[in-house]
Structure 1
Amino acid sequence: MPTPSVFASIRQLPIGQGGFLVGEVTDRHSEAFTYAFDCGSINREHFEQGLSLCSYEKIDVLFVSHLDLDHISGIEALAAQVQINTVILPCLDALHLTLIALEAMNAGGLRLSVRSFLQDPAGWFADRGVKQILHIPRGDSAVEAEPFNPDDSSGDDIVAGSEEEGSLGPYTIRSKGSGQPKTVRAGAAQERVLGEETSITVDIGQAVGSPCWLLVPYVHPFPEADLSEFRTLAGKLLPANFSDRAIASKSFTTKLIKLLADESDRKTLKRCYKVLSGNHNKISMSLYAGPHSASEEEMEIRRSDWSFPWTAIAARHQLLVSRNRYRKVRGGAWLCTGDADLNVLETRSQWLRRYRYLIPRVEVFVLPHHGSNNSIHDEVIDHLKDVVMLACAATGRSKHPHPLLLGRLGAAGSGVWQVSEDPESTFAMHVEFNG
């Protein structure tokens, strides 16, 4: 009996200034695997429009790049419409929680909803029906990142799903050095910290143990020099273990909220925050998604930018057309970046190491921070030639995507497509391959 073909679709939905990607993997006979990356916009109407284009009944895994409003504001609306089984996000360590709180303060104050989330993030997700909350620590700046090899999973722990319901779906989460699960909301959900080297394989249309689709999240290190300066300016306000990459304790969160309630301490921390915000530093997760084994001969790919003849006038959402007129198949993969800092050497070098063997397979690359000129280095652009770049930005934003970045990408011969609030700007890629 022939192995059934596997069909995968990925769509970047039109929600204006923000991010909302949905993906599905199926062989049209088995239960489909569905996932999303980020879920938010600064404009509620724009997000609701994008959400109306998501017809899934459940999301197996929601990846959250980071907790800025334009990347998470739609999670509650999504959870009200579909069942979200698992959420994977950067580890909410002390630094991350502090940055979230200060970002909120900088935007107008620590609202009750933000304070509630900070006090019990896992409970917040559990209250919205999420069954698993998985944290991935940021990379260790003192240790070189391990390049992910899709053909070698030796030494990885298999992270089980819900103990009561068994596997949550047709996928397997593998991680090195994962912690023990903790129950949330009297057993309604489980929370666990994974290792920084984590991957997810999807088993559809395949013999047992032969995965068809691969997802690799990665949170790059935070610049040590900036973290050190932040700690120095904050003085004794922060505990000695502030730099730990482990999930923050409830006592730390309680202390942080108390500090922000004191006018003097709040001003001190906000001054410290300017050190980080001025450099556009973010703790942000990237996500690679693509076929587990690339095969150009047995793979059929359709992309939104391929719907227009190379020699004709480009679609109005194509800001730049690739210099390469030939539809070169690289491997059917998609790489999201959230607000990752791919400019500073310390962070981009680790990011490039982690995705070393996967970058040659990438067809679609989502520019970090909506196409900010300060978020990506030419070294990264050089690794992504013949790749279509997406800028997820609302119409009329003067710096997203930034004209200087468009000039750099144009000089490199890259194509750029802007996914805005216009429904026609939706960018999709469909991949069919033998299982």
Structure 2
Amino acid sequence: MPFLHIRTQRPVGQGFFHTAMVSGAGGPAFCYVYDCGAMPKYRQARSNAIKAYRDARENMRPLDVLFLSHAHADHVNGVAQLPMGFAVDTIMLPLLSVEDRLIAFARSAAEAPASARDQFYRDFIADPAAALSRFAPRQILFVKPGSPDEGAPGGGGEEIGPYDEGGDQIGGDPRDGADRDRWKLVGRGRAENRRTVTGGGKGKASTTTDIATIPDSRAIAVDVADHLGPWLLAPYVDPGVVAERRRFFRVLRRQEGFDKRSLAAPDRLSKILSDKNEIAILVGAYKAVGRDLNVTSLCLYSGPAQDPSIQHFAWCSASMTNGRWNWFADGPRIAWLATGDAALREKRRVHDFAAHYGVHLGKVGTLTLPHHGSDNNADDKLLEKVKPSWCVASADRFSTWRHPGSGIMHLMASRSIPMALVTSSNASEFAEVVHVD
């Protein structure tokens, strides 16, 4: 049976919303989403894109995994609208410190004040686990940086082991309609800080969600195609800059009630995030420290677990409303790699990113540019390491931002790498179909 990876960058304006499915083993497709949000200015485009995705889903099977890259509003504020009509089995996001969450909130409030008035977003910043558990997922997995010696499974060219012996599953019994026998967590590192929370809500049945923290040396392996082996969804956590966090909190400590202990309490944090005067204090601290502060961001590799050395006929079709392209896959380059808002310009950070993924980078065909293609988050070092066939930037006009940056666009042109710019226009939606016989 042929293998298919269908992936779509949805037109939400200044934000990010990526949907995908993999199929090929004869069973139901494995469906996942990476980020779902947009700046308030583009709320209608975001709503339209989410509705189009929901309407296109057949028989409303559970969404297997929802990945969230970081805590900026334009990447998560559509989540509350997303699972209407279908369940979400697993949610995976980086382990975010209170510093990360507050810096992300302060930036969102400074750049688009309407973001700070979104109730789900405030709840997410105050307590991510509690906010996400209302969607009754089977499990929520927080991902932290793993040991530098233990990168993504298979990243060193090693076998990841038999698929069905890939490691412990965190959650309990599968939800109704879910097919959990087809994917497992693989890689090294143990789950930590396990706990269970009760979800549901007014008028809804009570549910339980298992929560744990795993290192980014763990990944999801999906049993989809015998001739390719398992399909891998491997995270990488690019950490925020510690010095900036410290400066941010030094400014906050000058204000009464903004000490670290009180800010770590979700109830206290919820009150702060609902008070316009205290929001103004957070915004002031953000502006006092600087702009465009790096926050922890989760990257995601979606591609073959092993080097397929494709002997099979493989092709990829990419389309936008105003154009269509077809090409033969460049050897094993059929994977997709998302970078969230990762800071991948510094030589050391690019080195760590590349070392984590190792040989998987040689399978990447499509790279989503970090931070909507900002010149501050990537340069030629990243393009040299990945050597993508395509780049995607999800961006639109907002304030004085210039996304994608002219420097990035020049670099891609110099390397003859085509770029798909996905805006709020439906005509810019970018869909790819990877087909392997």
What TM-score range do you get, normalising by the shorter chain?
Answer: 0.7 to 0.9
For 1:123 and 1:195, locate their aligned partners in 2 and report how far apart those are by CA, in whole Å.
21
Question: Equivalents in 2 of 1:265, 1:18: separation in Å?
Answer: 26
Distance 1:261 1:71, change over 3 A: closer
- The farther-off stretch of 388-397 and 403-412 is 388-397
Q: Deviations over 1:336-363 (max 9, x none)?
A: 1111111134433322221222111110
Matched, 1:189 2:186: no
Q: Is 2:35–2:75's contact at 8 Å kept on the other side of the alignment?
A: yes
Asked if 1 retains the 8 angstrom alpha-carbon contact of 2:153 and 2:219, the reply is no
Whether the 8 Å CA contact 1:136–1:196 is kept in 2: the answer is yes
2:409 maps to 406
Which one-letter code corresponds to 2:172 in the other structure?
S
- The aligned counterpart of 1:244 is none
Aligned residue in 1 for 2:129:
122
Contact 1:385–1:412 (Cα < 8 Å) also in 2:
no
Partner of 2:168: 158
Q: Is the 8 A contact 2:334 2:434 kept in 1?
A: yes
Equivalent in the alignment of 1:62: 66
Aligned to 2:203: none
Retained in 1: the 8 A contact 2:98–2:263? no
* Alignment match of 1:431 (pick from 429, 434, 437): 434
CA–CA distance in structure 1, aligned partners of residues 174 and 422 of structure 2: 40
CA contact (8 A) 2:182 2:222 kept: yes
Identity of aligned residues (%): 24
Distance 2:404 2:415 in 1: 16
Paired residues for 1:50-199 under 5 Å: 50-54=49-53, 55-56=56-57, 57=60, 58-106=62-110, 107-108=112-113, 110-111=116-117, 112-137=119-144, 139=145, 144=148, 146-150=150-154, 151-153=158-160, 157-163=167-173, 165=175, 168=180, 170-174=182-186, 176-185=189-198, 187-199=207-219
From 301, 313, 316, the counterpart of 2:315: 301
1:284 and 2:297 are equivalent in the alignment: yes
Q: Secondary structure at the match of 1:218?
A: strand
SS of corresponding position for 2:16: strand
Q: Residue 124 of structure 2 aligns to a residue in which SS?
A: helix
* Residues 410, 238 of structure 1: alpha-carbon distance in 2 compared, 3 angstrom cutoff: farther
Equivalent pair of 1:174/1:200 in contact (CA under 8 Å): yes
Of residues 109-118 and 41-50 in structure 1, the stretch that sits farther from structure 2 once superposed is 109-118
Question: How far apart in 2 are the matches of 1:348 and 1:238?
Answer: 34
Question: How far has the Cα of 1:183 moved from its partner?
Answer: 1.4
Where 2:314 maps in the other structure, the secondary structure is strand
Cα 1:267/1:19, change in 2 over 3 Å: closer
Three-state SS of the structure 2 residue aligned to 1:23 is strand
Does structure 1 retain, via aligned residues, the 8 Å contact 2:263–2:269? no
- Pair 1:131–1:148, CA change in 2 (3 A): closer
1:126 Cα deviation (Å)? Answer: 2.2
What secondary structure, in the 3-state scheme, does the structure 2 residue paired with 1:30 have?
coil
Distance 1:348 1:224, change over 3 A: farther
**Please, which moves more after superposition, 59-68 or 22-31?**
22-31
Structure 1 residue matching 2:411: 3-state secondary structure: helix
Which secondary structure state, in structure 2, belongs to the residue aligned with residue 282 of structure 1?
coil
Is the partner of 1:286 in helix, strand or coil?
Answer: strand
Residue number in structure 2 paired with 1:311 = none
- Please state how far the C-alpha of 1:8 moved relative to its aligned partner: 1.8
Give yes or no for contact 2:11–2:426 (8 Å, CA) kept in 1. yes
Contact 1:87/1:134 (CA < 8 Å) preserved in 2?
yes
Q: 1:272 to 1:7 in 2, by over 3 A?
A: same
Q: Would you tell me which structure has more strand in proportion to its own residues? A: 2
CA contact (8 A) 2:102 2:125 kept: no
The separation in 2 between residues aligned to 1:38 and 1:72, in whole angstroms, is 6
Correspondence 1:356 to 2:358: yes
Judged with a 3 Å threshold, the aligned counterparts in structure 2 of structure 1 residues 329 and 426 are, in CA distance, closer, same or farther, namely: farther
Equivalent position to 2:221, from 201, 205, 214: 201
Paired residue secondary structure (1:80): coil
Determine the C-alpha separation between the residues in 2 that align with 1:424 and 1:105: 30
Residue from 220, 224, 227 that aligns with 2:242: 224
TM-score of the aligned structures, taking structure 1 as reference length: 0.81
Segment of structure 1 superposing worse, 327-336 or 254-263: 254-263
Selected match of 1:252 from 265, 284, 287? 265
**What secondary structure sits across from 1:383 in the alignment?**
helix
Question: Structure 1 residues 234, 158: CA separation in 2 closer, same or farther (over 3 Å shift)?
Answer: same
CA deviation vs aligned residue, 1:355-413 (integer Å, no higher than 9, x gap):
22211111000011111111102211222335211111136886111223211221232
Per-residue CA distance 1:284-305 (angstroms, 9 max, x = gap): 1111101223333214121316
**Aligned length in residues:** 405
- Any stretches of 5+ residues in structure 1 without a counterpart? 241-248, 308-314
Q: Look up the equivalent residue of 2:95 and give its one-letter code.
A: C
Q: Is the 8 A contact 1:370 1:391 kept in 2?
A: yes
| Aligned residue type for 2:29 | A
From 371, 375, 383, the equivalent of 1:369 is 371
CA–CA distance in 2 between the matches of 1:396 and 1:264?
A: 25
What per-residue deviation string (whole Å, max 9, x for no partner) do you get for residues 183-240 of structure 1?
Answer: 1116522211112322110013449xx9421111111122233334334444585448
In structure 1, how many angstroms separate the alpha carbons of the residues matched to 2:15 and 2:279?
28
For the pair 1:36 / 2:33, whether they are aligned, the reply is yes
Q: Kindly provide the amino acid, as one letter, of the partner of residue 136 in structure 1.
A: V
The residue type equivalent to 1:25 in the other structure is: V
- For residues 303-339 of structure 1, the C-alpha deviation after alignment (integer angstroms, 9 at most, x for no partner) is 316x9xxxxxxx9679xx9xxx986344200001111
| Aligned partner letter, 1:98 | L
From 365, 369, 391, the equivalent of 1:389 is 391
Structure 1 counterpart SS, 2:17: strand
